[in-house]
Amino acid sequence: MSFVIRVEQIAAYVDREVKIQGWVYNRTRKGKLVFLLVRDGSGFVQCVAFKRDLVPEVFEEIVRIPQESSVVITGVVRADERAPGNPGGYEIGITGFEIVQAVEGEYPIALKEDHGVDFLLDNRHLWIRSQYQWAILRIRATIISAIREWLDTNGFINMDTPILTPAACEGTTTLFGTEYFDEGMAYLAQSGQLYNEANIFAFGRVYCFGPTFRAEKSKTRRHLTEFWMVEPEVAFCDLDGVMEIEEQFVSHIVQRTLKERAAELAVLGRDTTMLERVIPPFPRISYDEAVTQLHKIQAKTEDAELREQLTIAWGDDFGAPHETELTQLFDRPVFVYGYPTAVKAFYMEPWPDRPEVSKSVDLLAPEGYGEIIGGSERISDPDLLLQRIHEHDLPEEAFKWYIDLRRYGSVPHSGFGLGVERTVTWICGINHIRQTIAYPRTIKRVYP
Ligand code: 4AD
Ligand code: MG
């Protein structure tokens, strides 16, 4: 008797009759044979209909079944190295075929057609069915699971932080505002960090993990207006301490993904050599040193346009081209620490005896990907913090509670935020962030 299995379990059912429930992804015919590539959400499997084995009406249905029709297929699992699919190497010899719904008319994003990316994004609700997008989103889910796993087993408590907030955390230029009853304006959270800082005084090590909003006007391959960020925060931790946590954390995420999602990475054609090297310790260079390196790289660059883009003076923030060049100097992620105070957020602890430098650190992903983490040691002195809030023109009223944290048992503390979509982009080895989330939000897109 056959029973329903999921395609990802198929290896356990060789020579047995099973049922799969799914959708027709692709169909080819070779005379008396019809090959259906069927997906069921967990994988893709080749199902073979042999004219001789089926009653003529059923064979005719299989010959004609349109792409994306929903079906229930019964058949015997065979191991065959040549069979395409995911996991590949297995096929099902069809003995029974039931149509749940036959698609009428043409499927809007038929296979193998070269659609423009805007068309595909307008049809994102269908595009996620394609094997490539499916592979990316499965990898994303594993990355998220690995993030939680590492934090949950290393003493961090998950604390959810609010999305509706009274003020900016990461600069006032990228706030999304909304009228909030009689309370004036509220803003969608740019970060949960400030609340994490309160939470560590109750729990020691915490993290928040949720959607994050930035009204980023930049239309780049690295920016979304809604993205997911995980933010760990640790009491009694300085800048060196936070770097040690980050390198353990990131290498766990990469190594677990390599182990569990090898098939999906193969669908993407990802060369995993560089990912295998993501093992601590990661190299560390100061911002000062990075600027010196960039000057050297710029002097050697022949491409005039790139040379122009690489122009940098001490005090400037890095743009994507700077980060890309810096990452090429290393075979694994690199920490750049000690950025100029002026280009970073208000809450960062100054460098001892060098107030123009902050105890900040970004982690740049290799192979040109650039920043995936931003973090720092936080100011622990209440007077300095208040001074910074004024210097950044932030409303003191909204930060009263935050300054309180420096009054009642202040300690050195540090934390960081890792952007999920930037991390997925890098691990997948793809060139645009918009494919790393099911329904991307950018300045030009809120549909579907
Ligand atoms: O460097 P950011 O702005 O740091 C913070 O928000 C800190 N409060 C984090 C902390 O210390 N708790 O953002 C952190 C990360 C970036 O490194 C990047 O990976 C991601 O969030 N990120 C974005 N990802 C996609 N689209 C955007 N517009 C992003 N802005 C930041
Ligand atoms: Mg940053």
> What pLDDT, in 10s, does the model give residues 380-414?
999 999 999 999 999 999 999 999 999 999 999 99
> Does ligand 1 have an atom closer than 6 angstroms to the CB of 170?
yes
> So what's the pLDDT on residue 2?
81
pLDDT of residue 111: 66
pLDDT, mean over the chain: 96
Q: Any idea of the CA torsion for 194, 196, 202, 204, to the nearest 10 degrees?
A: -130
Nearest protein Cα to ligand 1, atom 24 = 419
88, part of any domain: yes
Report the nearest-CA residue for atom 17 of ligand 1: 373
Residue 112 has pLDDT above 90, yes or no: no
Please report the atom of ligand 1 found closest to the CA of residue 373: 17
Q: Are residues 354 and 260 in the same domain?
A: yes
Do 263 and 197 share a structural domain?
yes
> CA dihedral defined by 167, 168, 174, 180, rounded to 10 degrees?
-10
> How many distinct structural domains can be found in the chain?
2
| Distance set, CA 433 to CA 23, 78, 324, 429 (Å) | 28, 38, 15, 10
pLDDT of residue 316: 98
Query: What atom of ligand 1 comes closest to residue 374's alpha carbon?
Result: 1
The pLDDT confidence band at residue 219, using thresholds 50, 70 and 90, is confident
Residue 108 maps to a domain = no
- Answer whether residue 46 is part of any domain: yes
Residues 342 and 379 in one domain: yes
- The pTM of the full predicted model, rounded to 2 decimals, is 0.97
pLDDT greater at residue 163 or residue 217:
163
Boundary-marking domain end, from 68, 101, 134: 101
- Tell me, yes or no, whether 54 and 92 share the same domain: yes
What pLDDT score does 168 carry?
A: 87
- Are 157 and 32 in the same domain? no
Protein residue with its CA nearest to atom 22 in ligand 1: 419
Grade residue 148 by pLDDT with cuts at 50, 70 and 90.
very high
Q: Could you tell me the distance, in angstroms and rounded to a whole number, from the CA of residue 176 to the centre of ligand 2?
A: 18
Residue 108 C-alpha to ligand 1 middle, in angstroms? 36
What are the C-alpha distances in Å from 139 to residues 42, 86, 133, 263, 425?
A: 13, 14, 10, 10, 10
**Which residue puts its alpha carbon closest to atom 11 of ligand 1?**
416
- Is 375 found in the same domain as 261? yes
- Whether residue 147 sits in one domain with residue 36: no
The whole-number pLDDT of residue 216 equals: 85
The verdict on the CB of residue 344 being under 6 Å from ligand 1 is no
The predicted pLDDT at position 283 comes to 98
Q: Is residue 197 part of a domain?
A: yes
279 and 201 housed in the same domain: yes
Give the closest ligand to the alpha carbon of residue 199. 1
Residue with the smallest CA separation from ligand 1 atom 2 is 374
Pocket test for ligand 1, best of 196, 225, 229 (most atoms within 8 A of CB): 229
* 180 and 77 share one domain: no
How many angstroms separate the alpha carbon of residue 68 from the centre of ligand 2?
42
If you measure from the C-alpha of residue 375 to the centroid of ligand 1, how many angstroms do you get, rounded to a whole number?
9
Distance CA 392, CA 382 (A): 15
Residue 187 has pLDDT above 80, yes or no: yes
Closest ligand relative to 442 C-alpha: 1
Q: Which of 2-6, 231-235, 328-332, 423-427 has the least mean pLDDT? A: 2-6
Do 93 and 196 fall within a single domain?
Answer: no
Q: Is 415 in the pocket of ligand 1 (CB under 6 A)?
A: yes
Ligand 1 atom closest to Cα of 232?
Answer: 12
304 in any annotated domain: no
Q: How far apart are the C-alpha atoms of 133 and 428, rounded to whole Å?
A: 11
Ligand at shortest distance from the CA of 418: 1
**Residues within 5 Å of ion ligand 2 by Cβ?**
374
Question: Token pair of 411, please?
Answer: 């300690």
User: Domain check: are 94 and 232 in the same one?
Assistant: no
245 in a structural domain? yes
Residue 321 inside a domain? The answer is no
* Same domain assignment for residues 247 and 347: yes
- Whether residue 307 is contained in a domain is answered as no
Question: Looking at residue 26, which CATH number applies to its domain?
Answer: 2.40.50.140
| Closest ligand (CA of 373) | 1
Choice from 422, 425, 442, 443 to test ligand 1 binding pocket (greatest atom count within 8 A of CB): 422
- Tell the residue nearest (CA) to atom 31 of ligand 1: 419
Asked if the model's pLDDT at residue 300 lies above 80, the reply is yes
**How far does residue 126's CA lie from ligand 2's centre (Å)?**
33
The band of 169, judged by pLDDT with boundaries at 50, 70 and 90, is confident
Q: Is the CB of 372 under 6 A from ligand 1?
A: yes
Sheet arrangement for strand 413-419: 157-158, 205-213, 226-235, 413-419, 370-377, 360-365, 334-337, 284-286
In the chain, % of residues over pLDDT 70 = 99
- Find out whether the beta carbon of 374 lies less than 6 Å from any atom of ligand 1: yes
Nearest CA to ligand 1 atom 28: 223
Q: Is the CB of 135 under 6 A from ligand 1?
A: no
Tell me the two tokens of residue 422.
């930037």
**CATH number of residue 256's parent domain:** 3.30.930.10
Q: Is the pLDDT reported for residue 353 higher than 90?
A: yes
Check pocket membership of 416 for ligand 1, CB cut-off 6 A: yes
Domain, as residue range, for 210: 125-283+330-436
Residue bearing the CA closest to ligand 1, atom 7: 417
